[in-house]
Amino acid sequence: MHDTNELLKDGPDTVRRLARRRYDLDPAALSDALRERNDAQAEVTRLRTELNRTAKARRSGPPPEAEKEAARALRAEVQRAEAAARTAAARLTDLLLSIPNVPLDSVPDGDSEKEAVEIRRGGPAPRPADGARHHAEIGESLGILDGPTAAKLSGARFSVARGAGARLERALGDFFLDLHTREHGYTEQSVPFLVGRDTMTGTGQLPKFEEDLFRTRVGDRELFLIPTAEVPLTNLVAGQLLDARELPYAFTARTPCFRAEAGAYGRDTRGILRLHQFEKVELVRICAPEDAQAQLELMVNHAEECLRRLELAHRVVLLPAGDMGFAARMTYDIEVWLPGSGSYREISSVSDCGTFQARRADIRVKRPDGRRTPAATLNGSALPIGRTIAALLEQGVQEDGSVLLPEALVPYTGFRRILPGGATE
């Protein structure tokens, strides 16, 4: 969310910057909504003052019937004004909630991954794509991935892992969490997988992405299945005033993630790259706004370290303004090489959201001088387990059909190689 006065103060510059992400800000409509809300609130204040004044004037004795009737009429006016003020405030809030975060000027122009700027590459040299096998084929031949059974249970875009595949999923989650908590300083959290509308709104999933969310309703209680642990992790401190001397906060959690993928019809229907349900380890950092850029670079390194330890070929790219998430003002994608499709594919997005989410979730920082300002929030995947398995299979498959895993996983899996049929050694 935004500070209305700041949006209007910057005027044409804000319009220009939002246009880079293909959002057409209408300053006149925003100014009108702000004026309507302010006028409505001023009318409520005027009428309440008048009501209080007349009440004080009547205290000397019982009021005549005419004064009683005037007081009743004035109270009715106050109620109507309060309803009008709520409507005007809701109209302004709805408008503000629809405006995406303003991209930083250092973010490149463009609308898609084609305009992303490559920053660096890491890991071993990419395996040639010629003759490479897709991870779905490899997983099925090993007996560790079973798409048809998942489809029988739940329909398209679900997966079943068995035997060494299920063990590999568990191992990766433990490996990522141990790395982030023991070496990177994150505090592990166990969080709900179902959250309320206010929680989703706080991080920007609502109202923009309602069609991409799974929800459930029990009686009059509405809950949403989380699309990422970013949602509950960031909202752990919603409505709080944080001591600047204790920042940054660094949280991590492994959770299932649920996404309807409403806009992804026909994309990545084979394999485990784009599922309705998957597991992911998420990182969230909360800091003072002036520290956000340094924290972003740190988080990218934390996510990339997972791939370095797993010996996976990858690259880091800076996303263009038109391809960033709704709440982000700057995003790095880490893309892993998938020889089966002959391309780099996103395995982690690490985003600086500035004060955008903190304003929506009311997360503030108390400065040493007593000032209270919105905090900055950052989030990133480190890493999604399914996409990591896809990369391990495609980059680690051997000529005999087995898959060789990196040495770093052996303490977690108990094996280094998965053989056709699912045996391990």
The answer on pLDDT for 174 being more than 70 is: yes
Q: Which pLDDT belongs to residue 263? A: 56
pLDDT band at 243 (very low <50, low <70, confident <90, very high): very high
Instruction: Calculate what percentage of the chain has a pLDDT beyond 70.
Output: 96
Average pLDDT over residues 314-331: 97
Under CATH, which number does the domain 4-97 receive? Answer: 1.10.287
What is the model's pTM?
0.92
Reply yes or no on whether 402 is catalytic. Answer: no
From 274, 309, 345, 359, active-site residue: 274
289, 290, 295, 296: CA torsion to nearest 10: 80
pLDDT band of residue 59 (cuts 50, 70, 90) is: low
pLDDT digits (tens, 9 = 90+) for 129-144: 998 999 999 999 999 9
Distances, alpha carbon 193 to alpha carbons 158, 274, 327, in Å: 18, 19, 21
Q: Name the β-bridge partners of 424.
A: 418
Q: What is the mean pLDDT of the chain?
A: 94
The candidate with the shortest Cα–Cα distance to 377, out of 365, 389, 394, is 365
**Each residue of 386-420: b (16+ CB within 10 Å) or e?**
bbbbbbbbbbbbeeeebbebbeebeebbebebbbe
Task: State yes or no: pLDDT of 214 exceeds 80.
Answer: yes
Query: What are the structure tokens assigned to 63, written together?
Result: 């009021």
For residues 250-267, give the mean pLDDT.
83
| Contact (CB, 8 A) for 140 and 147 | yes
Would you kindly state where each structural domain of the chain is located, as residue ranges?
Answer: 4-97, 113-418
- C-alpha 406/C-alpha 204 separation (Å) is 37
Residue 403 CA to residue 420 CA, distance in Å, equals 9
The model's pLDDT over 2-32, given as tens digits with 9 standing for 90+, comes to 889 888 988 889 999 999 999 999 999 999 9
> What is the chain's Cα-based Rg?
26
> Which one of 259, 285, 315, 329 is the catalytic residue?
259
Q: Which residue has the higher pLDDT, 59 or 395?
A: 395
- Known catalytic residue at 48: no
Residue with tokens 């020889």: 339
CA distance 396 to 417: 9
367 annotated active-site: no
In degrees rounded to 5, what are phi and psi of residue 371?
A: -65, 150
| Helices and strands counted in the chain (H then E) | 13, 16
Residue 32 identity (one-letter amino acid): D
Annotate 156-172 with b (16+ C-beta within 10 A) or e (fewer).
Answer: ebbbbbeebbebbbebb
* Catalytic-residue membership of 285: no
Which one from 141, 159, 349, 402 is the annotated catalytic residue? 349
β-strands 194-195, 221-225: how paired? antiparallel
Check pLDDT > 60 for residue 229: yes
Report the pLDDT averaged over residues 113-141.
94
Query: Do 4-97 and 113-418 show the same overall fold?
Result: no
- CATH H superfamily, domain 113-418: Bira Bifunctional Protein; Domain 2 (3.30.930.10)
pLDDT at 66 over 90: no
The more confidently predicted of residues 292 and 270 is 292
Q: Where are the beta strands (DSSP E) in 269-362?
A: 277-287, 314-318, 330-338, 343-352
Q: For CA atoms 392, 393, 394, 395, give the dihedral sign.
A: positive
In whole angstroms, give the CA distance from residue 351 to residue 379.
6
pLDDT greater than 80 at residue 60: no
Catalytic annotation on 387? yes
- How many whole angstroms separate alpha carbon 365 and alpha carbon 377? 12
pLDDT at 266 over 80: no
- For the stretch 89-98, pLDDT in tens is 999 999 999 9
Specify the higher pLDDT residue, 51 or 185: 185
